[in-house]
Every structure is written in structure tokens, then in C-alpha cells.
Amino acid sequence: MNDNPHASDFTPGPKRCARCGATFICKVDDLPHCQCVHVPLSDEVLDELSTAYSDCLCSRCLKELAGKDREGDQVLSGGRATGA
């Protein structure tokens, strides 16, 4: 059972970040190991993201939006730089 209501329509596997274009692996089928569950986002940010994007974002973008250190980013290829 998937406990993340924001991930219910997503499919696992290689993806391109909807925000910056970086390539990463989505593990929505293995949430304890998915890069997104380790980035705490406020309900307000989650609501904004669900309105602006229809698919996953990479760990770099999630951490940037959360104002967190980007150590350990999990992307396979770069994307365009996103400014803060």
C-alpha cells in the first residue's frame, strides 16, 4: 500500500525532472529508498508543486525548494541550473 497521496499516479523508473530536466530514478514502488521521501516539504510547498507539475522532481530541486543542503543528490545526468 502506498501511503503517499502525492505519489499515487506516478510510475517508477528513469525520469526527467519536470523542473530542471535532470535524469533520475524514481522509486515510487520502493518508497523507503526513493529520493523524495528524505526531503521534508511543507504542505504549502507540496500544494504548489502538485499544481505546477504533474510528475516527479529530482532530489536537487526538492532540496532547493525545501531550503536544504544538496549533499547526496541522486541524479543520473544534469539538467539546466535552477536559480534560487
- pLDDT tens by residue, 7-50: 446 788 999 999 999 999 999 899 898 888 888 898 998 999 99
Length of the chain: 84
Mean pLDDT of 2-7: 45
Between CA 53 and CA 20 the distance in angstroms is 11
List own/partner pairs for 63-67 with CB under 8 A and 24 or more apart: 63/39, 65/41, 66/39, 66/40, 66/41
DSSP letter for 20, please. Answer: T
Write down the pTM of the prediction. 0.67
Reported as a pLDDT band with limits 50, 70 and 90, residue 68 is confident
